[in-house]
Structure 1
Amino acid sequence: MSDWQHLDKTYILPTFGRMPIAIAKAEKNVLIDTKGNRYLDLFTGLAVNILGHSYPRLMKALAEQGKQFLHISNIFLNTPAIRLAERLVKHSLKTGKVYFGNSGAEATEAAIKLIHKWSVKHAPQKKGIIVLKNSFHGRTLGALKLTRQPGIYQDFPQIDLPVFEIEVNQTTQLEQVCEQFRPAAVLVEPILGSGGIVLLTKEFLETIQQLCQKHQMLFCVDEIQAGMGRTGTLFAYQAFSLKPDLILFGKGVGGGLPLGGVIAGEKLLDAFQPGDHGTTFAPSPLSAALGNAVLDALFEDGMLEKGKQTADYLWSRLNDLQTEFPTIIQSINGRGMMIGIRTCFTKEEIKALQTELMNDGILINITAQTVIRLLPPLTLTDEEIEFFITTLQRRLQQRLDKKEV
């Protein structure tokens, strides 16, 4: 055990199982540990570092805003945040208002309050929220109620909020719940992230929107992981003809600093009044300045389009890999730079593969126990893709060779 591992175990509560590397520096798409070892970062801080590390626009915004002010009270007008809110609305719902928090979980907490406020005023007979099995919406107690993974919600105290869990892409079940229980809202991730990179079909998403209109429910999309250009559009729902009432965002929006929130559509513009909700630190002027820099990079530097082209090449090479190893790779799911490689490995085998790739200089994430989750930056290069593919190819071939022996 290294000194850093010992200190971590001694002084930090063990809420995460950490990989045995201490990071000293990051540059572009690489993390560098305290021993000087370099690692291709396909974690991107769990979908946060959409532009890799030390992207020039972000570093410039960090320096410029740092010279102005780091924090002010929400009593005052926060110019970087106002500008960011305007741009988020114009690039999504066209008409709407933003509430900023510090994280995705806080976005979910705000969403719960907004849905409640709306239902009390406009639909008092409607209670509760429809969510999807294996969905993930955060770990705070309110968000935890909506996160449908038993290993996460466990036996923690639960808020008094009706939650209706349905299977992914099951329109009949969705229709039955809407008819029987008359909920106030539906909240879905367009692509389940922690749940194993599972796509909601176009038909299912359109049915949700239609049923929300029919039954006067709120249509809410959780874009915390899939948003900010990761799937080829600013938000994943924009791949279809949808107009949600509420968008949850987080992770990549702050350019590496804590920031999250919701974009409230026309039905919710007046749901919050002064005193209904708030936080001390959000929106951080520094995070908001970086958020504007992220949007500049996506739309002015062309990183949204470049990311789509890079993703196409990565998908092509992954499909080649699946063709070569059909007995190991069961399926490849996702969109853009949000990819899940479903394997036939056991939990122990997939963890061993993760460790081997780490030793080879590549960092991957595992979710849903046996799914390799890739969350690459839009700045990934073709050379880095080849490094990853050839390394993974070698490790998979080694496993086949062992079985043949």
Structure 2
Amino acid sequence: MTNWFQLDKEYLISAYPRTSVAIAGGRGCRLYDVNGKEYLDLFSGVGVNLLGYGHPEIIKAASDQVEKCLHLPFHFLNPVAIEYAKKIVDHSLKDGKVFYTTSGAEATEATLKLVHKYGNITNEQRHGIVVLGGSFHGRTLGALHFTRQEGIYQDFPHTAIPVYEVEREDLEGLERTIRTKNPLAIMLEPVSGSGGIYPLSSGYLKSVERLCRQYNMLFIVDEVQSGMGRTGKLFAYQHSDVTPDIIQFGKGAGGGIPFGGIIAGARLYDMFSPGDHGTTFAHPPISTALGLTVLKTLIDDGLMQKSYDTSLYLNEQLQKVRRENPYFIEEVRHCGMMFGISIHDTNENVKKFQLDLLEKGMLVDVTQGNIIRLLPPLIIAKEEIDQFIDQFLACMPQPLTMAGGV
């Protein structure tokens, strides 16, 4: 029998922690390892597989596009990319233009360059970007210092762009930073993902927009994880009736393959000149074809609303578990199909709980040490949620077995 775990250690750089499970394929919300064991996936590849595995519309779109072409140089027009851009703009800023990337981190990099260009062209006497504590905006060298998680930014080289960190929901701290530091922009996640699933309040987001207009700053929303229908809206900021200057998207946008980008509003979309920025895989035919299928499934076929309704059922079940087991669960936070379950236990025991669930065929994530993060495929059914809840309860330790007892 092939030892995939050993071969992985031997030939791949260990930048990520891994289990010993080797996946052979998937169908719907299920994954199957090389030994045939089935797993219910409640993490969907860090939120990438919005439509699960083997979705018929994704298979059809991929097959059709493969027969035409996988890649085009940016020198040519790509009708599918234009159609995708029109649809995503029509359902977001209304007046906007798209720049395509292959990842969310690259979307952050494009944003940083566009903000810098805007500052130079408009001669704004403001510098730097405000970000929120615990935020995640990517791991590339430009993006990682805007990610406010110490284990990620560490001591890697800094860009010349100043970074100002404030806490979530702290309007006084934000306005004080604006007045004393004169930043050019604020970049935030409407719902933090890696930070633990903390949705920002509508009141806070509206106040951020007001301060941006008052001080002539740019308002940037990072929707790489919270976008593409995951929260019941195409983008999470749309729950709050605000209008950002830049929207960053990625993860689930490509239906399972690398795809991302930014949508820039009217103040910014003509700032770049040819040669200011670029990427080999700009406006990719295969990614935009699959992405257009995702948008049509979410919006035209009604999956976005259906998924939101199902998320309310999952929240109802998790809240019931929390009420009946307060010794184990501190809080359940959610916005659509983004869930953070804060656990009353050590990081080591929460990791064991995750592995116990994996042994029972339930795939979940742990972030920030003690938070179970769920990002299920948007196609998950109530029956599958019931299966998860049953196994969650079966794996949950009893009070006297937890660290320190009760």
State the percentage of identical aligned residues: 47
Superposed CA offset, 1:313-336 (max 9, x none): 111101111111111110011201
Query: Which letter maps to 1:261?
Result: G
CA positional deviation for 1:2: 6.5
Superposition deviation, residue 122 in structure 1: 1.4
* Matched residue, 2:91: 91
- Secondary structure of the 1:142 match is coil
Separation in structure 2 between the aligned mates of residue 302 and residue 144 of structure 1, nearest angstrom: 36
CA distance in 1, matches of 2:323, 2:310: 20
Instruction: Answer whether contact 2:198 2:333 (CA < 8 A) is retained.
Output: yes
The corresponding residue for 1:137 is 137
Unaligned runs of 5+ in 1: none
1:349 corresponds to: 349
Q: Distance in 2 between matches of 1:2 and 1:175?
A: 58
Distance in 2 between residues matched to 1:43 and 1:312, nearest whole Å:
17
Partner of 2:32: 32
Query: Do the aligned partners of 2:315 and 2:334 also contact (CA within 8 Å) in 1?
Result: no
In the alignment, residue 47 of structure 2 is paired with which amino acid? Answer: A
User: Do 1:102 and 1:283's aligned partners in 2 also have CA atoms closer than 8 Å?
Assistant: no
User: C-alpha deviations, 1:68-101, integer Å up to 9, x for none?
Assistant: 1011100000111111111111000000000000
Distance between the aligned counterparts of 1:91 and 1:56, measured in 2? 24
What does residue 361 of structure 1 align with?
361
Structure 2 residues not aligned, in runs of 5+: none
AA partner of residue 27 (structure 2): E
Partner Cα distance (1:399, 1:37) in 2: 27
Mapping for residues 52-91 of structure 1, pairs under 5 Å = 52-91=52-91
Correspondence for 1:386: 386
* Length-normalised TM-score, structure 2: 0.98
Tell me the distance in 1 between the aligned counterparts of 2:237 and 2:300: 22
Deviations 1:358-404 (A, max 9, x none): 000000000011100000111101111001001111222x4336368
Q: Is the 8 A contact 2:41 2:363 kept in 1?
A: yes
String of CA shifts for 1:250-298, please: whole Å, max 9, x gaps. 0010000100110000100211110000000133210100000001111
Aligned counterpart, 1:168: 168
Q: How far 1:300 sits from its partner (Å)?
A: 2.0
Aligned to 1:402: 401
Poorly superposed stretches of 4+, deviation over 2 Å: 398-405
SS at 2:31 equivalent = strand
1:249-398 to 2 correspondences below 5 Å: 249-396=249-396, 398=397
Higher share in helix: 1
* Secondary structure in structure 2 of the residue aligned to 1:229: coil
1:52 maps to amino acid: G
* In 1: Cα distance, 2:293 partner to 2:352 partner: 38
Q: Distance in 2 between matches of 1:401 and 1:149?
A: 33
Q: CA deviation at 1:302?
A: 1.3
For 1:328 and 1:123, how far apart are their aligned partners in 2?
A: 54
Equivalent position amino acid for 1:307 in 2: S
Distance in 2, Cα, partners of 1:55 & 1:281 = 24
Structure 2: distance between partners of 1:26 and 1:64 = 21
- Aligned pair count reads 404
Give me the whole-angstrom Cα distance separating, in 2, the residues matched to 1:62 and 1:263. Answer: 24
Distance in 2 (CA, whole Å) between partners of 1:382 and 1:211 is 42
Contact conserved, 1:66 with 1:286, CA < 8 A, in 2? yes
Could you list the per-position Cα deviations for residues 132-166 of structure 1 after superposition, in whole angstroms to 9, with x for gaps in the alignment?
A: 11100000010012111110001111111111000
The 5 Å alignment of 1:96-175 reads: 96-175=96-175
CA contact (8 A) 2:327 2:399 kept: no
Pairing 1:242–2:242 present: yes
Relative distance call for 1:125 and 1:25 in structure 2 (3 A) is same
Which amino acid is 1:147 matched to? T
| 1:356 aligned partner, one-letter code | D
